[in-house]
Amino acid sequence: MKKSLVLLPGPVPVAQPVLEAMAWPMINHRGVEFADLLARLERQMKPLFGTQADVLFLGSSGTGGLEAAVTNLFDPGDVLLSVPVGVFGKRLATIARTYGCEVEVLDTPLGASASAKALAERLAADSQRRIKGVLLTHNETSTGVQNEMSALADAVRAHGALSVVDSVSGLGAARFEMDAWGFDVVVTASQKAIAAPPGIAMVAVSERGWSAMERAKIARYYFNLPVAREFARKGQTPWTPPISVFYAVAVALERYHASGLDANFVRHATYARAIRAAFEALGFTIFSRSDAHSVTVVAAEPPSGVDATAFLKTLRETYGVVLSGGQGELTGKIVRFGTMGDIGINDLLGAIGAVELALADLGAASQRGAGVAAASAELATRVAAGAL
Ligand SMILES: *Cc1c(COP(=O)(O)O)cnc(C)c1O
């Protein structure tokens, strides 16, 4: 098989020691070794969430964590305000509707981040406090947009609604302060910025969130978070955990903390800046607005005359570089380049070089070398500062 470089916004490249941890022997999931492992993981995840609250580990992908947030906090008929900025925000609204919540949508143009002002105004108009919860996305993977969460948090706190935040593709790559911002349930997953394989969703719940969960009457079984908390306090999960993925996440988090939170934030932001610079130099149009760029995924429209699907196919089949296409209404219109996972400057520059070759194969007028030059100029300033 030809060596390939997978630069998706999840799942992401995983370092060899993390992969090898998946081959370790099984342990008793009701024994002391697993309890120690769970305690270590919870301790290591808290700084990423910016919380002292309980962090639960669920055997599922990120969507399971989001479903758990909805089915534990709310009841059928509850009025929720959803603030989607793309496909994943809409998915969270769909989950809530699926369980009978009445979901109002505060719309944002694609490519823009959510407006804190619009959210504050909508919530201020809810003088009867009918809105029980607000559904937010930290980083919208489908459009390459990152929301300013502290501003959105201010708007929600002023109203008092419960809040759910999808930070599946944000947590660990950009600062998140769950406690300081006052969010109630925050969800992430193993296969994004933590750089582990898929299989575990992590869910942090505030004290206010726990109180609401004790009161909620909606049906839930596998994802019963109060039950998961009781088990977590004994060092267990209610059901058999994906033990191998737990091993991998433990190694991935050790590696993450060996460089530290700030270095991880700087690396993702710098890589995203380098990719945007390369894309712009090659004639792509960055899809996210200039005040809304994500640090974990760059979404861009190809140069005019270049078909996004054909470009991705050439890039993959001829050069072994796998980027994502668009989702939903952006299918066939954009390409998405992820910055998460075990990738280095060499991978980035190699991928950008391959992008140049694929563009040339498709007859684009882009100047070969311009992308690598623009990206390396961005990277060099950080390398010189000792930050990469
Ligand atoms: C990846 C992702 C998810 C979760 O997807 P799963 O496939 O269920 O892990 C949710 N939200 C966002 C923003 C994501 O990027």
CATH numbers and ranges of domains, the chain: 26-241 (3.40.640.10), 260-384 (3.90.1150.10)
Tell me which residue has its CA closest to atom 4 in ligand 1.
62
β-bridge partners, 166: 137, 187
Distance 326 CA to ligand 1 centre (A): 14
Q: Which residues of the chain have pLDDT under 50?
A: none
Q: How many helices (H) and strands (E) does the chain have?
A: 14, 15
Instruction: Find out whether 134 and 156 touch, Cβ atoms under 8 Å.
Output: yes
Distance (Å, whole) CA 171 – CA 188: 7
Angle at CA of residue 91, ends 86 and 92, nearest 5°: 105
Closest CA to 323 of 333, 331, 313: 313
β-bridge partners, 171: 174
What pLDDT sits at residue 1?
A: 52
Distance 203 CA to ligand 1 centre (A): 13
Mutation test residue for ligand 1: of 87, 136, 141, 245, the one with most atoms within 8 Å of CB = 141
C-alpha 294: how far from its chain's center?
Answer: 10
- Secondary structure (3-state) at 97: helix
Angle at CA of residue 173, ends 96 and 14, nearest 5°: 95
Closest CA to 135 of 97, 173, 170, 171: 97
Helix (H) or strand (E) holding 314: helix 308-319
Q: Which residues line ligand 1 (CB under 6 A)?
A: 9-10, 61-63, 88, 137, 139, 141, 166, 168-169, 189
What pLDDT sits at residue 39?
A: 98
Distance 378 CA to ligand 1 centre (A): 29
What pLDDT sits at residue 217?
A: 87
Mutation test residue for ligand 1: of 8, 12, 58, 61, the one with most atoms within 8 Å of CB = 61
What pLDDT sits at residue 363?
A: 94
Q: Counting atoms of ligand 1 from 1, which one is nearest the CA of 138?
A: 13
Q: Which two tokens stand for residue 212?
A: 């609401």
Distance (Å, whole) CA 199 – CA 69: 17
Cβ neighbours for 99, distance < 8 A, ≥ 6 positions apart? 70, 71, 74, 76, 218
Cβ neighbours for 344, distance < 8 A, ≥ 6 positions apart? none
Q: Counting atoms of ligand 1 from 1, which one is nearest the CA of 201?
A: 9
What pLDDT sits at residue 218?
A: 83
Q: How many residues are given for the chain?
A: 388
